[in-house]
Structure 1
Amino acid sequence: MLNQYARGLFTRLFTPLARWLLARGVTPDQVTVAGTAGVLVGALVLFPLGHLFWGTLVIAVFAFADVVDGTMARLPEASRRRQRTEADTRWGSFLDSSLDRVADGGVFAGLAVWFFTAGAAPAIGTGALLCMFLGSIVSYVRAKAESLGYDAQTGIAERAERLVATLVAAGLVGLGLPPVVLLVVLLLLAAASAVTIVQRMARVRAQVTAQR
């Protein structure tokens, strides 16, 4: 849901940057890789050191690469400069989706490491791992459904919602809010992810039934 409303706004906002990068020979794939690397630095370096606010800030900045690379790929300049083919487009989509999973796993793993160790809040660490586990299933169910020709793009907790809620809560805890705030958010996200899995499976089941 958040993707639908925010992507158009951010696309317009980042189009000048996308054109500037293309003019200097930067490719969408390079932006995808750089963005994921930046997210992992914030998640797997700063979070485990207890710098929740600064880690969140770094992740938020590099997460916008997910919008920039897509904007670059859709601009006419990309096709003209790189002779971008349909195969290139499909590879870019595959790379972007795969590295999204890496980035998401890094965020929750970084939180888990901190709260299982010096953060001394194993319940929060468990909540982070639960979100990582269920979030991966949410993504897998959609990918598998689409590979079989079905539509599973539904649910109350898609990737954008899960990531934004987690980062906002982590950043606020880093600024001084009690850690229980993050625990509550993670547990709610885990529950919402479980509901989303059921919703997506039910949607695919309905499509299969309609084909009989």
Structure 2
Amino acid sequence: MQEEINLLQRRIKELEIVNEHGRLRIQDLERELAGGSAMPSLTQGPSMSTLPRTQTTPTPPSILPSWRARTDARVRLLCSLNRAGNALCAWHDSRRERRTYPPRMAPPGYLNCGCTFEEALFEESLSRHGVGSYHPGESVRMDPALRNPLFRLLQTRYGYQDGDFERDPKTGEWVEGEGNALWERKLAQGAMNVRKNRTEERR
């Protein structure tokens, strides 16, 4: 019961952060509509007021099929069920905690630990850029209490989607070696390893 209360309290804090960010964004948009320039919503020093507004990374139409294929391969590789019928994010996979959903009973888009596919992919992407760790045995993990609000903030403020960290900010194209081919190859290698293990088990 105490664990469930703690989870609910964390979720409430996440929603409060998202709500506050949304309220501040609405204020910015209202200022723009009123004809004034969008001023920073938080109190900032003189040096911050001269910074240019963040530019959105362009999205060439040619990258969209590759993007969909890349995300699909990552979901199939990183959010697949283990032998016990559970799909877990890296944080929960390293802990013996009560699962939110029973084996093979998680809703579409969710892992058994209660995290979403998007949150799990975000965690893995952060780790490849030096923020936290992902693989078993590594000590520093990205706690969902920090990971999830950060993910929502990036979504709300910058429209973040899985793969954005791996795109060139000027052209919008994939950084070399980060397209769908990499993940489809990893997925194929994983499937080959599974088939190999099953063959060995039969022997």
Same fold by TM (over 0.5)? no
> How high is the TM-score relative to the length of structure 2?
0.34
TM-score w.r.t. the length of structure 1 is 0.32
Is the radius of gyration larger for structure 1 or structure 2? 2
